[in-house]
Copies of this chain bind each other. A is one copy, B any other.
Amino acid sequence: MVMCGNHLSMYRSNWPADNGMTMTTNNDQMNFHAYMQDLGQQAAQAARKVCMASTATKNAALNELAQRIMDNQRGLSKSNQQDLQAGQQKGLAAALLDRLELTPARMQAMAEGLQQIAALPDPVGEIANMATRPSGIQVGQMRVPLGVIGIIYESRPNVTVDAAGLCLKSGNAVILRGGSEAIHSNRALGELIKQTLKQVGLPETAVQVVNTTDRDAVHELLTMNNYVSVIVPRGGKGLIERVSTDATIPVIKHLDGNCHVYIDRDADSDKAVAIAVNAKTHRYGVCNAMETLLVHNDIAHNILPRLATEYAHHAVELRGCEKVQTILQAVTPASEQDWYEEYLAPVLAIKVVASTTEAIDHIETFGSHHTDVIVTENFSTAQHFMREVDSSSVMINASSRFADGFEYGLGAEIGISTDKIHARGPVGLEGLTSQKFIVIGDGNIRD
């Protein structure tokens, strides 16, 4: 049996000689430290080649992978069926099984996503701000890949392809650690990616799927500071909190999407109703859905009954402050905990405020710095809100649902950051790069 460098069986601490055993779930015998360090080292070596790859080669890889996905739908479905059957046996919830499934439409969406990434401009090598200094040197900044990205995600196998595509296009190597429920689908996708990389002449280890479902492997990944530049966790709050706590490598993350719409007293009522309904009801389980509605006292009597009718159509449960309770029937009293809540469900907290300042204070106190919206026709109020609200996206007269890499024109996104360092908001190709200084002289020395 020939073993390639990454074959997990190499890392079994008491591997019996030549028994022909293939990778199993018998993880307890493996040396995760050695296995992950090896992945890291290979990724770092690959990164030095990928960072120099031409745009044409990277795009060829993306388009070729799209084609391979379309050509291998049956094989992918078969691997995916293994995951679905295992999931059913384990009694996974229907919603989780749905996320896990690779339908023909989803495979096509993955392929199209890759083609879209291929069509995006290559950020690597872009030179900005080049200027001559009094000393005679020219100084500028060149955009360069970060190196090795670690992605940790849950059940959706499409993340394997999306993340690989974004990391490749931005000149990075990537280590992908998907959810245990999707291991067969991810391995099959990983195999297609490997074939593609080989075909276009890029290192096969530029994209590596972690070939074990053991959590010790995740811990290794989060602490390989020598090899990995940044970790991007994608999934529920529990995953992201665990990753943030354990990682010694910088993490690009978003924890919560507790988004607000504030309807100012100078709001246009029709725009306000349209936005407040869209932001809540367009989709419930997404991070950019509105969770708390703030309404200026002067407009509350006019606008809340209209909104209540709309929300009733959508069967949205309303939880209001005392003032809201005096205006609307059928509203549950809101507790302080409601202001912190990311419902991800047809539930909405509503508070009446006396001023824009009170609205901003509420957002800064209870919000999660994700996406916050003001609806107003007043120019100065809009400017004040836009400048002072400290969120990754601040919007005027638009639905919070627009907070998205595609809608912003970044193309696909690797995630949405609510951190303040490096990248804020939807993170596309640029968020997977940084800028180094370049200096050009002609023998210049410092006096």
Chain A residues near B (Cβ < 8 Å) = 48, 51-52, 125, 131, 133, 135, 137, 139, 142, 144, 146-147, 229-230, 250, 268, 270-271, 274-275, 277-279, 282, 364, 375, 386-388, 390-399, 401-403, 407-409, 419-422, 424-426, 434-446
Indicate how many identical chains form the complex. Answer: 2
A12 smallest CB distance to B (angstroms)? 31
Question: Given the complex, which residues of B lie within 8 Å of A279, measured CB to CB?
Answer: 445
| Interface of chain A, main secondary structure | mixed
Q: Are B408 and A139 in contact, with the CB atoms below 8 A?
A: yes
Bound complex: CA of A445 vs CA of B364, how far in Å?
24
Q: Are B390 and A147 in contact, with the CB atoms below 8 A?
A: yes
Question: Given the complex, which residues of B lie within 8 Å of A444, measured CB to CB?
Answer: 275, 397-399, 402
Bound complex: CA of A425 vs CA of B140, how far in Å?
12
Within 8 Å by CB of A442, from B250, B397, B401, lies B397
Question: Given the complex, which residues of B lie within 8 Å of A394, measured CB to CB?
Answer: 142, 436-439
Q: Are A146 and B438 in contact, with the CB atoms below 8 A?
A: no
Chain B: which residue is nearest A127 at the CB level?
B386
19 contacts between A and B (CB under 8 A): A52-B388, A125-B387, A139-B408, A144-B387, A146-B421, A147-B420, A250-B421, A271-B443, A274-B445, A278-B446, A392-B436, A393-B437, A397-B440, A398-B439, A398-B445, A403-B439, A421-B421, A422-B434, A424-B434
Q: Which of A146, A387, A390, A420 has the most CB of B within 10 A?
A: A420
Chain B: which residue is nearest A47 at the CB level?
B390
Question: Given the complex, which residues of B lie within 8 Å of A135, measured CB to CB?
Answer: 402, 407
